[in-house]
Amino acid sequence: MNAGAVASSGEILLFLHADCWLERAGLEEVRTTLRNEPEVVGGGFRQILDHPGWVYRWLEWGNAVRVHWPGWIYGDQGIFVRRSVFDELGGFPGLPLMEDLYFSKRLKQAGRLALLGPHLHVSTRRWEQTGPIRQTLRNWRFILAARLGTPLEELARRYRDVR
């Protein structure tokens, strides 16, 4: 992600996971928000999880609350940021796991975050493979383990890559 930022030339950076797609209206909303609200340093999107089940609506709601309350944006919510702020923060930390979370925590300290949309569609493949509740609890367990001091390298080895 840092290499992509270095190679780009825009004043706004947008980072998306490969299993997400952003509606065109999302790009315009980012531009408008950053142009009209100078206190906003960056943000993410409300998700549209591509599955009709009620548990996925609950996940969409919970993920939006996570941005509003502690200010944590995960990569599957898309992360947009002013280039100047990205550069001031030194970009994404060189971590083997959860670099999006650690970056968003620093971004929250730099100024106000915006939650836009919903415009970001997210594949539910990983949730469907593991089960939505089980996958969510697993994600929380990784965050708690990291907070309690488990090395991220060890957690990265445990995190099964589903591609």
Contacts of 125 (CB under 8 A, 6+ apart): 19, 162
Q: Burial of 35 by CB count in 10 Å (0-12 exposed, 13-18 middle, 19+ buried)?
A: exposed
Over the stretch 26-82, which tens digit does the pLDDT of each residue have? 999 999 999 999 999 999 999 999 999 999 999 999 999 999 889 999 999 999 999
- pLDDT, averaged across the chain: 93
- Distance between CA 136 and CA 81 in Å, rounded? 26
pLDDT digits (tens, 9 = 90+) for 89-106: 999 999 999 999 999 999
Cα(26)–Cα(64) distance, integer angstroms: 16
Looking up tokens 């944006």, which residue turns up? 73
How far is 8 from 151, CA to CA, in rounded Å? 32
For the domain 2-123, what is the CATH superfamily, name and number? Spore Coat Polysaccharide Biosynthesis Protein SpsA; Chain A (3.90.550.10)
How do beta strands 12-15 and 79-82 pair?
antiparallel
High-pLDDT (> 90) share of the chain, %: 87
pTM confidence score: 0.92
Q: Which residues pair with 24 in a beta bridge?
A: none
